[in-house]
With several copies, the nearest count.
Chain A
Amino acid sequence: MKKVLIANRGEIALRIIRAARELGIKTVVAHSTADEKSLPVLLADEAICIGPPPSGQSYLNIPNLLSAAIVTGADAIHPGYGFLAENATFAEMCREHGITFIGPTPENMRALGDKATARKVAREAGVPTVPGTDELESIEEAKRAALEIGYPVILKASAGGGGRGMRVVHTEEELERAIQQAQEEARAAFGNPAVYLEKYIEEPKHIEIQVLGDGENVVHLWERDCSIQRRHQKLLEEAPSVLPYETRRAIAEAAARLARHVGYVSAGTLEFLVDKEGNFYFIEMNTRIQVEHPITELITGIDLVQAQFRIAQGEKLWLRQEDIEVRGHAIEVRINAEDPEKGFRPSIGKVETLLFPGGPGIRVDSHLYAGYQIPPHYDSLIAKIIAWAPTREEAIRRMERALAETVIEGPGLKTTIPFHQKVLQNAFFRRGAVYTNFVARRMEM
């Protein structure tokens, strides 16, 4: 591998440049016209414009991206996250054109691509999923299933999403009426009254396991706790979680088993819900590098993006499970150009004054520079600040110190820093009492 085309933007494009450069691989950043003055474009060895600002015509424009790789002589493409990262067709087309796709195989993506298929594969590999039914045919069937699964259960619209058509049911008495209501809501919202039933997990932790595979061998790099979310958007992540060692190991081993079962190649993440008793349920797999990968890098010392490159070059996995050792605790905060006081409304603008934190245990991944105009076309992530320390308590205090010395200012520019400062000060957070509805319940946001 001599030259990689980076089919992405922002901090992850910069992250990929850094990994490539340390491996002696040249970089070409493919960018939209809106990102012409972005830091990855300025720092890469080469840059090529692949379309106008809307990502449908640029970062998702497969013909232009492949053509850009061909005309610049790139022999590999790194998709980053989002955009085309989990697009099996794109991975396949790269292969057809003799370009190495830095990520899993198209077959891996298809085996894990949609939730239903992934659940099936998980069951084959003996990994628990959230117990549930198919579309309900009758009240009797629902009652039987609910009894088997155990209350509380949740009704969900087959065609649905976003909370509509959902109903939590605690006892059999409530069930019939709840089904009727859920069906009515589902019909109104989606034009389809079909509902199904699932075990309702109260206050679950969102735990994800990082894996690396070479198609044959798979190792896990332990877990990340991503429970601090707002409307399913992760905001703050930490590694390791506060779960007991036995639970952590059981989940991590299940994840590695599943990845091994599909012959997984490259870096990937398996997401689980974990209930208060330590029962865990596989939800889905992300077949890409993730935003929050740095916390795993900090506790294991392993560079995940470099690992993606090495695996894509055909290197057999150089790590055995016993080589992977967790040291200390890491926390990442996602700094978004959003106003947490106004419902996290995007708040774009020009960065005029910029001071990132430094000193011991602090890592900054950001594409900002003083004078950078944040374009309105893409997501609002502008920086990731990551703190490492020997213990969770020290990592929290270090992150507080780092956020206190951070300055990201410009006319009208707001960031999520004040939100993170509140999370870090929250007594429930400090004692590790986090779960997916933490922000809604403890932060009232």
Chain B
Amino acid sequence: MTPKELKQILQALVEHGVNELTLETPDYKLTVRRGGEVQVVAMPQVVAPPPSPPVPVAPAPRPEVPAAPAPVPAPEPVQASPKEECAGCVEVKAPIVGTFYRAPAPDAPPYVKEGDRVEKGQVLCIIEAMKLMNEIESEVAGIVKKILVQNGEPVEYGQPLFLIQPV
């Protein structure tokens, strides 16, 4: 997907008041949540073996219309917590509002990357709030399983930042 295509999609979402979108093609999987994060996860290109007889496509899951009146307005769909991706992991959440940075300076290496082992109290990232750099430390010793926020993105209070598998 080209940036131009992505931009067109985002523009379309904004223009049409869509809050969330998941797009899966053989080439890519796109998840967009307006006001939240944008993720483009490249899927491995797989060369398909010769065609075999088509298999009936199972109906894709679709939100069922609630039988009972939904509250007004309907609550946002309950999202699978990032934590569910990693049983036993600890979520490190943003304790303040600000901008998330993975490194102390633009040209410096990141504090941690996925797969790193970290100690309790080790700095994982900084959150800049009102020009103050706040270091966020790991609450546990463990392996960084996932970094949930892109460098330079704004984070709100309580937003999950890292998944850490305690060791």
Contact = CB atoms under 8 A, between A and B. Distances in A.
A235 B123 CA distance: 52
B69 A63 contact: no
Contacts of A407: 72-73
Contact of A369 (B35, B68, B73, B129): B73
B97 A353 contact: no
Given A49-B158, A340-B17, A341-B16, A67 B97 contact: yes
Interface in B130-167: 130, 154-159
Interface stretch (A10-18, A68-76, A166-174, A196-204): A68-76
Contact of B156 (A48, A339, A417): A48
A36 to B, nearest CB: 9
Contacts of B72: 353-355, 369-371, 407
A352 interface: yes
A71 B129 CA distance: 9
Kindly list the 4 A-B residue pairs having the minimum CB-CB distance in the complex, ordered from nearest: A371-B71, A71-B154, A418-B17, A67-B129
Given A339-B17, A353-B70, A418-B16, 8 more contacts: A48-B97, A63-B130, A64-B96, A67-B129, A71-B98, A370-B69, A370-B72, A371-B71
Nearest to A43: B73
Contact of A414 (B17, B96, B129): B17
B98 A67 contact: yes
Contacts of B71: 37, 353, 369-372
Chain A interface residue number, banded: 35 or more
B100 to A, nearest CB: 9
A371 B72 CA distance: 7
A242 interface: no
B130 A67 contact: yes
Given A33-B158, A68-B156, A340-B17, A50 B73 contact: no
Contact of A66 (B130, B156, B159): B130
Most buried by B among A63, A339, A372: A63
Nearest to B154: A71
Contacts of B26: none
Tell me if B's interface is mostly helix, strand, loop or mixed.
loop
19 contacts: A39-B73, A48-B154, A48-B157, A49-B158, A52-B157, A58-B157, A64-B97, A66-B130, A67-B96, A97-B130, A340-B17, A353-B72, A353-B73, A370-B71, A371-B66, A371-B71, A407-B73, A409-B19, A414-B17
A236 B73 CA distance: 26
A427 to B, nearest CB: 17
B65 interface: yes
B74 interface: yes
B39 to A, nearest CB: 19
Tell me if A's interface is mostly helix, strand, loop or mixed.
mixed
A411 interface: yes
B51 interface: no
A341 B17 contact: yes
A71 B127 CA distance: 11
A111 B129 CA distance: 31
Nearest to B128: A67
Contacts of B66: 352, 371
A103 interface: no
A339 B158 CA distance: 34
B73 A355 contact: yes
A64 B127 CA distance: 11
B150 to A, nearest CB: 13
Interface in B62-92: 65-66, 68-75
B17 to A, nearest CB: 4
Contacts of B159: 49
B70 to A, nearest CB: 5
Nearest to A58: B157
Contacts of B75: 37
A349 to B, nearest CB: 11
A267 to B, nearest CB: 28
Contact of A63 (B73, B96, B99): B96
A42 interface: yes
A46 interface: yes
A401 to B, nearest CB: 15
Contacts of B96: 63-64, 67
Contacts of B16: 341, 418
Most buried by B among A48, A71, A339: A71
Most buried by B among A43, A372, A409, A417: A409
Nearest to B157: A49
A157 interface: no
A312 interface: no
A4 B47 CA distance: 50
A288 to B, nearest CB: 24
Interface string A156-190: 00000000000000000000000000000000000
A305 interface: no
A68 B159 CA distance: 13
A294 interface: no
A80 interface: no
Contact of A51 (B65, B99, B157): B157
Contacts of A67: 96-98, 129-130
Interface string A1-31: 0000000000000000000000000000000
